[in-house]
Structure 1
Amino acid sequence: MPSAKWASLVAMILAVSLTPPAHAASTGPPQAPSEAGPRSQNTQFVTRSDTRLSLGGTPFRFAGTNIYWLGLDENVGGVGYPTFFRIRDALDTAKAMGMTVVRSHMLASTGNELSILPSKEEGFNEKAFATVDYAIAYAGSIGIRLILPLTDEWSYYHGGHRDFTDPYGLPSAAFYTDERVIADYQAYVRHVMHRINPLTGRAYNADPTIMAWEFGNELEGMTLEWINANAERFRQWAPRQLIAAGRRFDIDPDTLAAPGVDIVDVHYYPPTAGRVKADAATVTGAGKVYVAGEYASTSATDDLLAPPAADPNVAGMLSWSLFGHHDRNGFVQHDDGFTMHYPGDDPRMAASVRAQIAFAEQVSPAGRRPSRPGPPLITQVDKRAGLNELRWRGAAGASGYVVERSVRGRWSPAHPGVLTDNRTPWIDPEAGRDLSYRVVPIDRNGRRGTASDPVRVTASQTVLADPLETTGLAGGHDGVTITPGEGVAIARPSGPSQAWISWSRPDIRRVEFDTVSGKGRRPDARVQVSENGRDWRTVRHEVHRDRITAEAGGADHVRILWRGETGLTRATLWSADPAPVTSAPGAFGPLTPAPGAQDVLGSPRFSWSPAAGAGYYRLVVSEHADLRDPVLSATGITGTEYPAPDVLEPGLTYHWRVTAVNAIGETGGDTASFGTRPLPDEPAVVDDFEAFEDSAQLARAYVRNTGGDPITPELVPGKAMRLDYTLGSAGYAGVTRTFAPAPDLWGQAGLELDLSRTGTAANVTIQFVTGGIYFEHTLSAPEGTVRIPFSEFRHPSWAGSGPLDLTRFEQLSIYVGGGPGSGRLTVDQIVAYPAS
């Protein structure tokens, strides 16, 4: 963590604004500090000797990840600057996993109003540097090094190299040839490299935290002349930092030939240990340092990463990509299929995280026990039918949490076991009284971390905590600048005039403001309340140390006004329960499975009508009418449906009941019964090719994947499908059929198909889609009748994960893959076979 000097340092930086334009606060140019910045652990530069990296005279190898959004984010409410918390939390999470290098697109920032260079005409946007300054400074304070691409091949939200060609009306290829475009790109890079970070007092090009500058992300059109010219300039501007280059998927031979390139960056979707080994040998054979700059995190396994860990030619591998905690609760979500959260949202992601930790321990052992996580922050306590519903902001490195409650000063767990970040919001099933809560993080070794600050809540009140990372929770504000502090954000006056922030909530009873002030000085602040948000009256407040408290008297608006050296770090508001309950929940009943239903699938979705005044529901499912020995028991259900896990046996009768609960009492619904569908005892035909009249009709159904090598489907006598293929540069060829309607293969054990081959030997991959989720299995040199249990199909490394829902068998693909050459694969009688 940063040294104690952090808070005193940022107190003097009065104009580094992080507020997005939608909530724009006042700002001004960053100012250099008058004393040394946060103490960086990175005191020496990473250096290159031939094909190896070293640090302080010892070999330097690393595990790492990509956190592309540290400068400008797209994942929380649209494009905007990430909060200081999200930056800090993601970097701390990488550190907790043993990672020592992060690759980030934070300086690929052009072409939009929030970027570093909105346009050549507008010039540089100083406000956009605030998050970049902080990310670099904070990474250094925890010993993480950075690889920073300077533009992008692709036109994503943060911009790319077309932002340099479009103003001249030129095609994108002119980025590498037009002298005006090259000069503009170099001017951008020069400005960035020479920027003085106000949080460290160092220019970017003099900071050992920046290990390498990359020409751009996955640049496809680089020429040797272009690489050499830019490498020469970059070496002049940043002589002690390394230069990296790479393109998508394979190795650009010009990067191997260019004398100014130190690191060749190769990307993998999907990666294989064999491909990594071969590419590392190629790169180091050319005298360069090899780095896997991106690989699909979904592919991370011990089998993939153990061989590179043992290969000295592999300097480092960086997964794509890490996301940390949301500012309010849970995780920041992303939808590219490779999102990684620590410790993992599901078994597949958790296994990927463990494999990356193991890789880190092999290539760059930390040499010390990781610090304990914490503290979380309780961000909200709402009332749900009189019961307390807690939200908390998670802590980096936490594998789970224990919510503790206290009535008279002694803390005790409020639930059995450990809750994950995905269990927030969490309902306390027993709360209906005045008490305090705190959240304790637990690390992967079962150790308790630092607990959150306790929050006191009465039986009739709710709580909202605003950590002031942005002004997004505020009703209004003026004259406010948000700066980073030691583990907090600090809202400060942006000038000598008075600043203010207001909040709007019905029936506010009490407010509390945490502050930082000049040493020994009393906070210079006033608290005001209003019924309409226009007419304000000042109320009496008390100050105890750095905390201001005031009674709001049931007003709907409250604000604080302050000036001078005072800064706010948190606002907490207690309000009256907006919908108190006075009786137990109302009557309700079961909906699905319908009472008496038969042939229900083994994992049904239970649903019921809503009960008036319900806070949550409990569900019990049993094979017995009196509900003893339940096979399924769930509680804390806030909606009126619940998807059953795979615990119900086929061909049996089950009984179920739901109970509605609130702070006054509980109401039970009727007990209902249903029968599950028995397992099939006959195979289901997927395709026997009998319905096709000719090859043209077959080809319209089985469509070639145009990204692969040539392959042609032909209908052969006897009604089978012949696939003639020629494998070349792509290394694969395949066809896909989409079914309408999708067959129902529920309960079947696997796929069976007849295969015969001639010509070049090739692996055969059977791939299918169920419920929008991909599964595949690869056969090595198959021949004859082949059976593949569904249990042996896996998600492709490039695809997202999800359940195997055989009720919707939507798509079937057949791929051949291997070395160059031609061949023929004949496919017949594709069926799903039963377990019997």
Structure 2
Amino acid sequence: MNHSLSAAPRFSRSKRMTGAAVTTALAATMLVAASAPASAVAAPQDWSTLNTEFVARDGSSLTLGGTDFRMSGANAYWLGLDENVGGVDYPTLFRIKDALDTASHLGVTVVRSHMMTSTGQDNENPLAIMPSLGEYNEEAFATIDFAIAYAGSVGIRLLLPLTDEWQYYHGGHRDFTTPLGLASADFYTDPTAIAAFDEYIEYVVGRTNAITGVRYVDDPTILAWELGNELEGMTLDWINARVALIGSLAPDQLVAAGGRFGVSQPALLAPGLDIVDAHYYPPTIDRVSADAALVVAARKVYLAGEYGSPAATTALLEPLAANTDVSGMFFWSLFPNNDRGGFVPHDDGFTVHYPGETTQSRAEVDAIVGYGDAIAGSNAVPSPALGAPLVTVVDRENGINRISWRGTAGADSYTVQSSGGAGWTDVAGPVSAGASPVTDFVSAPGTTYRVLAVGGATESVSDPVTATGRSSVLVDPLQSLLLTTGHSNVTLEADPSGALATGVAGQTSRLSWQRSGITRAEFLVADADGMSVASSADGLTWVESSTTTTTRDGRHVLLAEGLSGDHLRLEWATGTTVSRATISSGTAGGTVAVPGAFALALPADGTTGVRSTPVFSWTAADATAFYRFTLSLHPDLSEPLITRTGITATEFAPGLTLAPGTVHHWSVEALNGGGSMASTPQAAQFSTADLPTAPLVIDDFEGYSDDQGLTDAYVPNSGGGAVVSTLVESSGAADGTAARFDYDLGGEGYAGIVRTLAQSQDWWGYTGLTFWVDADAGHTLSVQFAASGAFWEANAVLPTSGWQQVELDFADFATPPWAGQAILNLSSVTEHAFYLGGAGSGTLVVDDLQTVLAAVPAPTDPAPTDPAPLEPAVPLAPSGSGADSLAATGTTGAGGALTASVLLMLLGLLAVCAGLRTRHPRPRRVTGTAS
């Protein structure tokens, strides 16, 4: 995947890595400390593998143990070096393990990862395998060795590119040319650059895994080495030479190659190459099938090494599963549970979290699982047992507890429970892992919490965590050292369970933490003999505490109570392991004052003519734990349209489209553990505008003087195919001029024309769009617009061929998979576009694009004495998602309104905000249909 291509992105991926200063600082918190010896890993006998035979090629097919082997694949580019958790750093072993376990639950048999494309220049990336040309960093292999070892233990195999076309944070082929004063194209022809890359290949491929003791070339877990990711300049001679080199180093492993789009012709012609890899954004059945047939005819194995996950549908994948020319489909891309709660975030629009957090993403996951089931045969990978979640934090602030937990691979949902000593009560659930943290609105002192995970018919439960008195609790599983403030003579040993903090035998080992007002600490240890616990006010003078040792569920528990100060230290000299620290801190007693006074801000009391659902805002109240928002048609706030509890920001965007010409009333209440405070005024009112009475002409194409004027107004999307724009005579409802767009769908499989409006338009109060169109059959047509900073898209289904009028309801528009989550706000539309998808070329003719008037509601009593209650808003998220329990989990306000629902009252229309995903850095495109 090209990580840098962007059409009007909201961020720059390059900003994730800010140079040597950042990476040098990050090196201080590397997963395996720089001072740790390379041998600080589990012994080879601690590991086993399910991959005992190599996958082989038989003509255009793969075989394993004499039977056909087809691949359900995932991309997890970050397994060696990550950029998704606050900078560039090595991923924790937990995240690697969780991702591979999640892949197993998805039915994935092969993971493609860029972990070997780890190079740099002049030590700008000291975390890389090769920070400078010809210099190697053994520490960079710690995560790689673990990923290979753990993948083998769960029966997953790996496809590993050796460099990258794109100069992304992990490096690429320019790292073999720029230091030599060469142009990037010289990578394929200059003998010095070629020799440098060959040396890198020999170094990487020839490595022995420090965890398993097995050479990479002897490990069946590595299915294939890919010459590079999306290399665009490969020549036949260059491919042949690299294939011969890898074949001599790793005769039992396969070699793959591919370009950016479609089938690479040099790869197709290379006689010794095993696998041809093609990428699709988006894929279609016809294009994948045609490419696969071409590769198979050349007696090579075909795989789609990347396809955008929003295209994962049963309509696409079922036919491709039935097509034996297709040896594998690899979605982009997989991300795991995060170490401290929620999912690892990623914002390219192609992120897969299991089991999905929206209706669309759950459907994607189901389609991926179905594809894996359909092709697995006798080579299915057994899913690991459902692990236990982990409560990571109970954070008490202003008398209210917020509970965070770390999810577990394969879990469909979680329920957070509390206990005061007699049974368990649900705090929130079932919710997604993404709902972490949740708020306990009762939060009695001394409450114990646990989290239940459900995965299919299996359940698991976390260890309970008690917030003693009025304390907060930090749980550190010590699978990294990132939560500690200091450590010495402690290494993180790779273990099939993740990582274990282990002391160096014969030396004094120390771990320390800093929290405000530490009172109690509990440690899970392999052997408590000789361990001591001390606390300190300044981190310099330490007071040793008495400890007790008990056994709980077969584990040794070292407990220290009566601690004081902000610093905690654990010390031992036996070389034993510590697998968890649970640290309580905070005030022991005292009462919480009610929140301070605050005022409602916008919309101001008495505002009229509101033309869209406002973002409600208010001033901050001191000592507030959360706010409760209420919106109603009645001055006494009875029969509310919406009540939302748990808001932590000072603004909120309710997911409702408000009735036009109507007075509304709203209020906010601030709450904490001591009580509540009403806003000033206690309730404010505003009125919405009346509906428009005439349609808005968006473009009738009569105002362009010539073809160049049309071309200047409708700009082709730079990432799609070419478009030629001309003015033609209209065949629509009225005489005049229409716009004709002749397009070539190009390598990307789509073309788009985008018009940016000179002045924003207000589409509020209309129900949809209508236009006349003549479009080629066989290509998808999508209409897209940008409104109030969010993008919306709908496919236009043409019932007949030829010139016809199309009407699209706004209820049919959804945020595209690459777009940020949003609530439809039509008050400020800044651009609109047409997108075509499929293969080949065609013509689109459009005329008279305008809005559709809303139907006039039937007359009603102008002064009803007892208004009927409105129907509740329809939830956006599916059952079992975090949105179902947002009242219990809280929201961060306008940006986090995950339970947004849309109700067009009086009009009887429902506009559902679907596809809540983050915008990707690729150009906007039509998502299209499967074929």
Q: Same fold (TM over 0.5)?
A: yes
1:322 to 334, 346, 352: 334
Of 372-381 and 667-676, more deviation after overlay is shown by 667-676
2:896 maps to none
Distance in 2, matches of 1:428 and 1:31, equals 42
Quote the Cα distance in structure 2 between the aligned partners of 1:675 and 1:273: 51
Q: Which residue of 1 aligns with 2:668?
A: 658
Residues 97 and 498, structure 2, Cα contact 8 Å, conserved in 1: no
Q: Name the aligned partner's letter for residue 141 of structure 2.
A: F
What is the aligned counterpart of 1:812 among 832, 845, 855? Answer: 832
- Report the equivalent of 1:147: 159
Which amino acid counterpart does residue 205 of structure 1 have in structure 2?
V
Of 747, 750, 766, the match for 2:783: 766
Q: What's the counterpart of residue 854 of structure 2?
A: 835
**Correspondence list, 1:459-470, <5 A:** 459-470=469-480
The answer to whether the Cα contact below 8 Å between 2:790 and 2:815 also exists between their aligned partners in 1 is: no
User: Match for residue 562 of structure 1?
Assistant: 572
User: How much has 1:535 moved relative to structure 2?
Assistant: 2.3
Closer, same or farther: CA 552–190 of 1 in aligned 2, 3 Å: farther
Give 1:436 shift: 1.1
Consecutive unaligned residues in structure 2, runs of 5 or more? 1-23, 856-931
The counterpart of 1:47, out of the listed 40, 43, 56, is 56
Which has the higher mean CA deviation after the structures are superposed, 353-362 or 487-496? 487-496
How far is 1:215 from its partner? 0.8
Among 800, 807, 810, the residue aligned to 1:787? 807
Deviation of residue 523 (structure 1)?
3.7
Distance 1:475 1:295 in 2: 42
Q: 2:754, 2:832 within 8 Å by CA — same for their partners in 1?
A: yes
Q: Which secondary structure state, in structure 1, belongs to the residue aligned with residue 461 of structure 2?
A: coil
Task: Give the drift of 1:624.
Answer: 4.0
Q: Kindly tell me: are residues 811 and 543 of structure 1, through their superposed partners in 2, closer, same or farther at Cα, counting changes over 3 Å?
A: same
Equivalent position to 2:537, from 512, 531, 534: 531
Which residue is 1:269 aligned to? 281
Checking the alignment, whether the CA contact within 8 Å between 1:695 and 1:715 is kept in structure 2 is no
2:258 aligns to what? 246
| Mapped partners of 2:828, 2:707: distance in 1 | 27
Deviations 1:755-788 (A, max 9, x none): 468x999775533223242525356655143323
Pick one of 710, 713, 723 that aligns with 2:740: 723
Letter in 2 for 1:297: S
The 1:822/1:526 distance shift into structure 2, 3 A limit, reads: closer
Contact kept? 2:692, 2:853, Cα under 8 Å = yes
For the residues of structure 2 that align with 1:801 and 1:643, how far apart are their CA atoms? 12
Aligned to 1:195: 207
Distance change >3 Å, CA 799–CA 435, structure 1 → 2 = closer
* Alpha-carbon distance in structure 1 between the residues aligned to 2:373 and 2:354: 16
Q: Which residue of 2 aligns with 1:13?
A: none
The structure showing larger relative contact order (alpha-carbon pairs under 8 Å, at least 6 residues apart) is: 2
Aligned residues: 809
Q: How far apart, in 2, do the equivalents of 1:301 and 1:473 lie?
A: 40
In structure 2, what residue type is equivalent to 1:835?
A
Match for residue 280 of structure 1 among 283, 289, 292: 292
Question: Structure 1: where are the runs of 5+ without partners?
Answer: 1-17
1:93–1:829: structure 2 CA closer, same or farther, 3 Å change rule? Answer: same
State the distance in 2 between where 1:23 and 1:150 align: 26
Decide whether aligned partners of structure 1 residues 578 and 809 sit closer, same or farther in structure 2, where only a CA change above 3 A counts: farther
Match for residue 595 of structure 2 among 558, 581, 585:
585
- For residues 441-484 of structure 1, give each alpha carbon's deviation from its aligned partner in whole angstroms, at most 9, with x where no partner exists: 122x3x45221111111241111112223322222223332222
| TM alignment of 1:42-441, pairs within 5 A | 42-111=51-120, 112-121=125-134, 123-364=135-376, 370=383, 373-408=386-421, 410-415=423-428, 417-441=429-453
Query: Match for 1:674 among 673, 677, 686?
Result: 686
Residues in 2 aligned to 1:303 and 1:818: alpha-carbon distance in whole angstroms: 15
Offset from partner CA, 1:409-467 (integer Å, 9 cap, x none): 5333234x412222211110112221211111122x3x452211111112411111122
Whole-Å Cα distance in 2 between the matches of residues 263 and 360 of structure 1?
20
Distance in 2, Cα, partners of 1:732 & 1:339 = 21
Work out which of the residue numbers 550, 555, 567 in structure 2 matches 1:544.
550
Q: Are residue 607 (structure 1) and residue 617 (structure 2) matched?
A: yes
Provide the aligned C-alpha RMSD in A: 3.0
Quick one: structure 1 residues 94 and 782, their matched pair in 2 at CA, closer, same or farther if it must change by over 3 Å? farther
- Residues 333 and 194 from structure 1, CA distance in 2 versus in 1: closer, same or farther, beyond 3 angstroms? same
Aligned CA distance change for structure 1 residues 778 and 163 (closer, same or farther; 3 Å)? farther
Whether the 8 Å contact between 1:440 and 1:448 is mirrored in structure 2 is no
* More deviation, 773-782/543-552: 773-782
Whether the 8 Å contact between 1:523 and 1:566 is mirrored in structure 2 is: no
State yes or no: 1:746 paired with 2:768: no
- SS where residue 580 of structure 2 aligns? strand
Report the equivalent of 1:5.
none
Q: Which residue of 1 aligns with 2:465?
A: 455
TM-score by length of 1: 0.90
Contact map agreement 1:44 1:55 (CA 8 A) in 2: yes
Note the C-alpha offset of 1:398: 1.4
Q: Is the Cα contact below 8 Å between 1:405 and 1:414 reproduced in 2? A: yes
Aligned amino acid, residue 584 of structure 1: V
Tell me which amino acid in the other structure corresponds to 1:777.
N
On the 8 A contact 2:631/2:664 being kept in 1, the answer is yes
Q: Which of 505, 508, 513 pairs up with 1:503?
A: 513
Structure 1 residue 594: Cα displacement: 3.2
Partners of 1:215 and 1:683 in 2: how far apart? 57
Q: How far did residue 209 of structure 1 move?
A: 1.1
Report the Cα distance in structure 1 between the residues aligned to 2:817 and 2:450, rounded to whole angstroms: 39
Give secondary structure in 1 for the equivalent of 2:351. coil
Structure 1: how far apart are the matches of 2:851 and 2:657?
Answer: 22
TM, length-normalised to structure 2: 0.81
